[in-house]
Structure 1
């Protein structure tokens, strides 16, 4: 249930494990309807995708753009540069590639078709996957059994797009006179960048965003963020609105023959850019643990093993997401110190502490010549990883878990180890 990245890749992975399986995906929206602009990912996801389905891995890599480095810019001051690199792809493009691949493998995709109400209880029995996002309707029906908890975040945010091409991942901070506001921006294709605006509640209210319509908000935001937009406009997708991040957790990711994947099972704050990576990881693990199940009586044990494994695997990232969220909920004291180099260093460490030598590398990276060396090293690493993916793919054994810049503009260089 759900034709987002989690649902489509679950279908692909299931078919790759056993082409004889009948796999149906129900999606209540028509094809092409999606939320958001672009998403980011790293080589580790491409490696896993290549192991499961080399065709879709190659297509996703070919459609993605590369970003190298991060920029932290406060107002119109010279940016501070950080390391890191990765990929970005438009969400619409990603879903198109995955849906085409699923159809090619024989998956029955049913768009504009809500899943049957009795999907979990109907006979004959089979695996049922809730992949319908943070607001999962299917999970909601079993919330008590699954132990679902929803925790609202603090800061309002707005997911936008812009023709300004941020080829470094840019964090732009602006003092509006009514409080600080900031953006997370990165290019995801040849024409467009994602531009996420985030503000503390007091700033958001003081600027009138709690009562202004979206078009008026866009005009105000375009003016506020001119230091990084340089005259470019901001665009909102259909139905765009301010929202706060919802942290979704579940005590259990399975009940009977029902399994949760992706945001239906867990959410991680957009500030660490790992939602797609975790969703596809869930899909891969679920397909591995249910492969070879003989009959409905074996399914609960297989799902319990999937639950245990994935909960253990994603825990470090969830912890990092919690720390990252806390950083962005209260960066004002750091911003008002006026030390942009220290601000960038703090942002770099928001997920985990870095060794002391990293500070000296951080200082040295403000020189364009050393940044070029770091960018070249990232390029070499990408090529090495790509070369390994060209080798024959070996299946991964499933172990049941033990239960007990030269140019000061951030646009001048080419996209984040977040």
Structure 2
């Protein structure tokens, strides 16, 4: 083989190996132009052009035909890169105490379509997951779009490699339910193409926020959030979820923050799970939870509309102090460079950010020498977006192989 052919093959191989990293850069918004893509990949302009053209040919991105410059910028104009709106989608679903939600999610974390299911979550995971997948299949049929795979978020730790829900405390499923196998079977029987994945809802929320939301750019990101019931946590290290040796890391809901507090479903007492979730807030505010709306919505609405009420304000202060105590302990152990809060915790942060930050600073070992930024999550339905990230990951790893 002559030298020219060898050089051509080497360039082609280099370009193909750059497809995944290039797609991830566009997917996460870190490469809005071909010039930035060239710099981030560390390749020549010609190679970046070939890579962008191939991703466009795969139907994943759009490359503007006419290069342009942002207002006030200097230097040579560059072709803009964007996610192709009519490109493939991932199916995403989330089960929680008050029902489920199904969605189609494109690259870039873009919600293409959603279906807010309102079924009763029975004790039979196969029945519930079957209804979830049926809703997903309807969305996919109506869209006419190509599907790369499916992801499911559940309110439980998911053991690896088995894919079992070990502690679905706030839904009536048996401990150890084979949720990944059930989901994969339902997806296959519904004729939905691509692999199927399952994960813990807060883990997936953290992954989505790290790639597309308030956690973007953090190296050590701690996420703590209330769902419709209970409290979960997650840690993202250098862009990857830290799930421990068997998927069970960061069960922060069972940190004790009030030794004389409420009994917890785990058998303990005074855990974050029962001291700082929506039900705890409604009880502390002396409000009777109603059956017509989710507990999360009731608690968030009460905090937003009646914050000046003495009982509501006192309940807010109480939960903020408990939450701050838990976060301080996590800061001492994990030393994150950013904390993001979701669910009712986001609303508590918005209500009195200085109080929460002061509690964390006062109770954490390094709090006085440099506070950790505490920010609200910014994505709507971040667990859904995170579930879709599981399905998108094989495409991000190797677009050619995944879409072959």
TM-score normalized by structure 2? 0.23
Return the index of the structure with the highest Cα Rg: 2
What TM-score results when the alignment is normalised by the length of structure 1? 0.22
Higher relative contact order (CA 8 A, sep 6+): 1
